[in-house]
Chain A
Amino acid sequence: MPGAWHLRAEPVTLVAAGAVTPLGADLDAFWSGLVTGSDGISMIERFPVDDLRVGRGGEIKKLRPLPQGRRAGCRATQILLAAAEDLLARAVVSAAPERVAVVLGTALGGVEQLERALAPGGRARHAVGALYDSPAHALARRLGARGPVLTVGTACAAGATALGAGADLLRADAADAVIAGGYDSLCRFVMRGFDALRSLTRERVRPFDRRRSGLLLGEAAAVVLMTRDGATSGPTLGRLLGHATASDGSHIAAPDPNGRGLEFAVRAALHEAALTAADVDFVSAHGTGTPLNDRIEAEVLRRTLGRRASEIPVNSIKAGLGHTMGAAAALEAIMCLLASREGVVPPTLGLDDPDPACDLDHVIGSPRATRPRISLSTSLGFGGCNAALVLEAPAP
């Protein structure tokens, strides 16, 4: 780890959030689904999966139509714009257009458009839509945002990286409001890829469980409105105190066996927040349900949180949603702050028999009544991407 940080990063306010998930069409459905233990996993219906080993996932069955009959391009853009509509129903973006930034994380962008572009009759808009940054620009157009538009490609850690990049834009006064988050949609491309990797389980997803056998994919979008601390009056979701990323430099598709990158990110995020393990009240784990990820993540949490690791509630929300890739970390950050607001931490679905190799204080079976003030959220992705966020509940 490099030497002492020169700057203590200013906290950034997360004003409000919007989400579309397999649990429902808005943020309220997302939260109530998590707390009640709803299962958003189903057979995928939107495209053929008969030839795949696993044809289940967290598919969004119904999207609300966009206002005024607006049309979105690809599925990913549709989901993203729907989440943005949910956000806009809860908060007003009051900054000047050139001071509004859009920062979105994604693992796949609009890749489904590539399938269309290559099919007979593929059109120019399909070709351009296949560029991974197309959905972010579509959202910027929808918002009338003329500030920076960033697409973050740190795979399944991208939602966290995007929140961090958005915070940095605010801290540097490059924007007055940032719409940040992540999205990804299910399509043949990604289902076939993970199917080929044999990462998908035929059973239920069981993060940190002795019987865990793999992940299932999901589709979702989650966005938050971020402003500089103190720039917003009224209730807020909370604050982002610190963020960090790190590369494993180890393997293209598997996490570093020692979790070096994740450990670096966790320590750096806590350092930026000027906090220590003693301050952490809750951990939202990446918790994919794959044998390797969960063991490595648990080891990193034990190393970084020390003796407190066994006292801090930990959950993973991927069993009920599927791994929503670029959206996952943004959803998990939102979940942390909703847990603080509501005074309850959702359980880890599918976790019945904790693996001794993943020994942590897992939230099992039912929600736990607790009101975390400081939450840590961890994420990993292909290419050796790691990210960590430190979030704080709003002052009572």
Chain B
Amino acid sequence: MSVSIAATGTRLEAVAVLTGWGHGIGALPADAGKAAAGRAVIPLGRPTLEGERFRRATRECLLGVAAVDALLRESNISRDAVKGSATALVYVTGGAYGASNRAFVVAESVGRASAVHFPYTAPSAMAGEVAIEFGLTGPYGILIGGAAATIDALWQATRLLAGGRCERALVLAVETFEECVDLYARGRWLVRRPLVEAAACALLVPGALHARYDAPRAPSALESLVRVRAGETLACAPLIALALARDGGGPASIAITGEWRGRRAGIQWQ
């Protein structure tokens, strides 16, 4: 049985993608599996961001900041335009908290766990760093899960916009794998290869497109395309799909899907 609902009036204003393959979707290979050449993880380096505050921040936090920064720069949107309570932030990750969690467990086991690092073990730290950096004080959501959770996040963003709870919504996803590659290797039935680190952000604004949130059984063409070209990017995959759809300049209607733990969710703008 398909679940479908209608929310109204949103538009995809911009989307930015950083992956282990490089900046933007132009960096994606035609076939991620072949391009990986046997590598389990395609890493994304720690962004070099200025500011004392970032000295302690984790790589995944900085990747979130870098993705939002890229979105604003590439779309010629000033930081002031998104600052304040009129901008919602919905953050999604499947496992980017894994690195900080592991580091804390290891430190704890040798009696070196510290107050500095503990707050960064929370998934909300990643969204928190982004909110601090860009002065975002509006509606706030954090979802944990893979690609299906990002579809949920996009739907939540459309609900916030349709309900007038915000004037714009950022949907941000970050995934890192390198520090936990051995653990992901054990959960091979859950995640495919290659694991490609990524950070991606979409900006939604009020518009004329109607969004439908549903539960399709089959993957959309874009879901399959992202899988082939990007590899396993978990929660980032639907945002990469949005970037590919925009780049293709195809029909105004965009349908994307995402699957995680056997559940597939979809959202369609038309």
Which A residues are CB-close (under 8 A) to B3?
98-99, 147-148, 173-175
Name the distance in Å between B90's Cβ and chain A's nearest Cβ.
10
The reply to whether B152 and A247 contact each other, CB–CB distance below 8 Å, is no
Q: Report yes or no: B113 in contact with A174, Cβ–Cβ below 8 A.
A: no
Are B132 and A150 within 8 A (Cβ)?
no
Given contacts A193-B121, A383-B124, contact A2 B113 (CB under 8 A): no
Whole-angstrom distance from the CB of B112 to the nearest CB of chain A?
10
Report whether A131 and B137 are in contact in the complex, using a CB–CB cutoff of 8 Å. Answer: no
Q: Which of A110-118, A294-302, A329-337, A356-364 touches B? A: A110-118
Other-chain contact of A247, B121, B137, B149, B183 (Cβ < 8 Å): B137
Category for how many chain A residues contact B: 35 or more
Q: Are A383 and B144 in contact (CB under 8 A)?
A: no
Is A127 part of the contact surface with B, judged by Cβ < 8 Å?
Answer: yes
A69 to B253, CA, bound (A): 50
Contact B215 A193 (CB under 8 A): no
Interface of B is mostly: mixed
Is A139 interfacial (CB 8 A cutoff)? no
**Which of A51, A165, A192, A247 contacts B127, CB < 8 Å?**
A247
Q: Which residue of B1, B118, B138 contacts A196 across the interface (Cβ within 8 Å)? A: B118
- The CA of A118 and the CA of B162, in the complex, are separated in Å by 45
CB of B102 to closest CB in A, whole Å: 7
Interface residues on B, range: 35 or more
Of B3, B108, B162, the most chain A CB neighbours within 10 A belong to B3
In the complex, what's the smallest C-beta–C-beta distance from B115 to chain A, in angstroms? 4
Q: A5-B165, A118-B106, A124-B186 are in contact. Are A161 and B263 (CB under 8 A)?
A: no
Whether A382 touches B128, Cβ cut-off 8 Å, given contacts A117-B186, A132-B123, A174-B5, is yes
Chain B residue at smallest Cβ distance from A1: B85
Q: Which of B121-153 contact A (CB under 8 A)?
A: 121-129, 131-132, 134-145, 149, 152
Question: Contacts A7-B163, A193-B118; is A148 near B187 (CB within 8 Å)?
Answer: no
Chain B 77-112 near chain A by CB (<8 Å), digits 1 or 0:
000000001100100001101100110111010010
Complex CA–CA separation, A264 to B124 (angstroms):
18
- The number of inter-chain residue pairs (CB within 8 angstroms) is 218
A123 touches B102 (CB 8 A): no
Q: Which of B85, B95, B159, B186 contacts A264 (CB 8 A)?
A: B85
* Chain A residues near B1 (CB-CB < 8 A): 96, 98-99
- A2 CB, min distance to chain B CBs, angstroms: 5
**Residue pair B163, A6 in contact (C-beta under 8 Å):** yes
- A151 vs B85: C-alpha distance when bound (angstroms): 24
A124-B186, A264-B85 given; A383·B7 CB < 8 A:
no
Q: CB of B76 within 8 A of chain A?
A: no
Beta-carbon contact of B142 and A2 below 8 Å: no
Judged by a CB distance under 8 angstroms, whether A188 is at the interface is yes
Contacting pair B127 A383 (CB below 8 A): yes
A252:B120 contact, CB within 8 angstroms: yes
B138 to chain A, nearest CB (A): 6
Q: Is the CB of A244 within 8 A of B5?
A: no
Q: Whole-angstrom distance from the CB of B209 to the nearest CB of chain A?
A: 16
Contact status of A165 and B141, CB under 8 A, knowing A173-B5, A196-B113: yes
Partner of A383 from the list B125, B135, B137 (CB cut-off 8 Å) is: B125
Q: Find residues 357-393 in chain A having any chain B CB closer than 8 Å to their own CB.
A: 381-386
Chain A positions 145 through 171: 1 when the CB is less than 8 Å from some CB of chain B, otherwise 0: 011111111110010010001001000
Asked, given contacts A152-B142, A152-B143, whether A252 binds B132 with beta carbons under 8 Å apart, the answer is yes
Partner of A245, one of B5, B139, B186: B139
Min C-beta distance of A59 to chain B, whole Å:
19
With both chains docked as a complex, state the minimum distance between the C-beta of B191 and any C-beta of chain A, in angstroms: 9
Least Cβ–Cβ distance between B60 and chain A, in angstroms: 13
A189 and B100 CA atoms in complex are apart in Å by 12
Q: Which of A109, A133, A197, A264 contacts B115 (CB 8 A)?
A: A197
Chain B, Cβ-Cβ closest to A149: B263
What is the interface of chain A, defined by CB distance below 8 A to chain B? Answer: 1-7, 9, 51, 96, 98-99, 106-107, 109, 111, 114-115, 117-118, 122-124, 127-128, 130-133, 137, 146-155, 158, 161, 165, 168, 172-175, 188-189, 192-194, 196-198, 244-253, 260-261, 264, 268, 272, 381-386
A-B contact pairs, 13 of them (CB 8 A): A7-B163, A122-B186, A131-B144, A133-B144, A151-B144, A154-B141, A158-B142, A172-B155, A172-B213, A193-B113, A245-B141, A246-B139, A252-B128
Closest 4 CB pairs of A and B: A383-B124, A383-B128, A193-B118, A6-B164
Q: Can you name 8 extra interface pairs (CB under 8 A) apart from A127-B184, A197-B118?
A: A2-B167, A107-B122, A109-B144, A128-B187, A133-B145, A150-B145, A153-B142, A244-B139
